[in-house]
Structure 1
Amino acid sequence: MERTTIRRATEEDAERLTALVQESRAYRGRYATVIAGYRVTAAYIERHRVFAAVGTAGRLLGFYSLVLEPAELDLAFVSDEAQGTGVGRLLMEHMLGQARRAGLTDVRVVSNPPAERFYLRMGAERVGVVAATPPKVTWERPELRFVVDRQHVTGTGAASSG
Structure 2
Amino acid sequence: MRVRPGRPSEAAELTALALRSKAHWGYDEAFIAACRDELAMAPADIGPRRTAVAEEDGRVLGFTTLEGRPPVGVLGMMFAEPDALGRGVGRLLFGHVVEEAGRIGLARFTIDADPNAEGFYLGMGAVRIGVTPSGSVPGRELPLLEFTLTSRRALAAGSNPPS
- The interval holding the TM-score normalised by the smaller chain is 0.7 to 0.9
2:13 maps to 16
TM-score relative to the length of structure 1 = 0.82
Within 2, Cα distance between the matches of 1:123 and 1:34?
A: 30
Cα deviation 1:119-140 (Å, max 9, x = unaligned): 001110111111356x724321
Within 2, Cα distance between the matches of 1:34 and 1:64?
A: 21
1:104 maps to 106
Structure 1 residue runs of 5 or longer lacking an equivalent are: 153-162
Q: Which amino acid aligns with 1:116?
A: E
**How many percent of aligned residue pairs carry the same amino acid?**
33
Judging changes above 3 Å, is the alpha-carbon distance between structure 1 residues 82 and 147 closer, same or farther for their aligned structure 2 residues?
A: same
How far residue 46 of structure 1 moved from its aligned partner, in angstroms, is 2.4
1:146 matched to 2:143? The reply is no
Q: Which amino acid aligns with 1:8?
A: P
Q: Secondary structure at the match of 2:150?
A: coil
Within 2, Cα distance between the matches of 1:147 and 1:108?
A: 9
Q: Secondary structure at the match of 1:26?
A: coil
Q: Which amino acid aligns with 1:126?
A: R
Q: Which amino acid aligns with 2:87?
A: T
Q: Which amino acid aligns with 2:4?
A: R
For the 8 Å contact 1:27–1:34, the answer to whether it is kept is: no
For the 8 Å contact 2:18–2:79, the answer to whether it is kept is: yes
Q: Which amino acid aligns with 1:122?
A: M
1:32 matched to 2:32? The reply is yes
Within 1, Cα distance between the matches of 2:68 and 2:102?
A: 11
Within 1, Cα distance between the matches of 2:152 and 2:92?
A: 19
Within 2, Cα distance between the matches of 1:124 and 1:150?
A: 7
Q: Secondary structure at the match of 1:36?
A: helix
Q: Which amino acid aligns with 1:97?
A: E
Superposed CA RMSD: 2.3
Alignment: residue pair count: 148
Q: How does 1:75-90 map to 2 (within 5 A)?
A: 75-90=77-92
Judging changes above 3 Å, is the alpha-carbon distance between structure 1 residues 52 and 137 closer, same or farther for their aligned structure 2 residues?
A: farther
For the 8 Å contact 2:125–2:152, the answer to whether it is kept is: no
TM-score relative to the length of structure 2 = 0.81
1:5 alignment partner, one of 2, 6, 11? 2
For the 8 Å contact 1:100–1:149, the answer to whether it is kept is: no
For the 8 Å contact 1:21–1:77, the answer to whether it is kept is: yes
Structure 2 residue runs of 5 or longer lacking an equivalent are: 154-163
For the 8 Å contact 1:105–1:150, the answer to whether it is kept is: no
1:42 maps to 43
Q: Which amino acid aligns with 1:19?
A: A
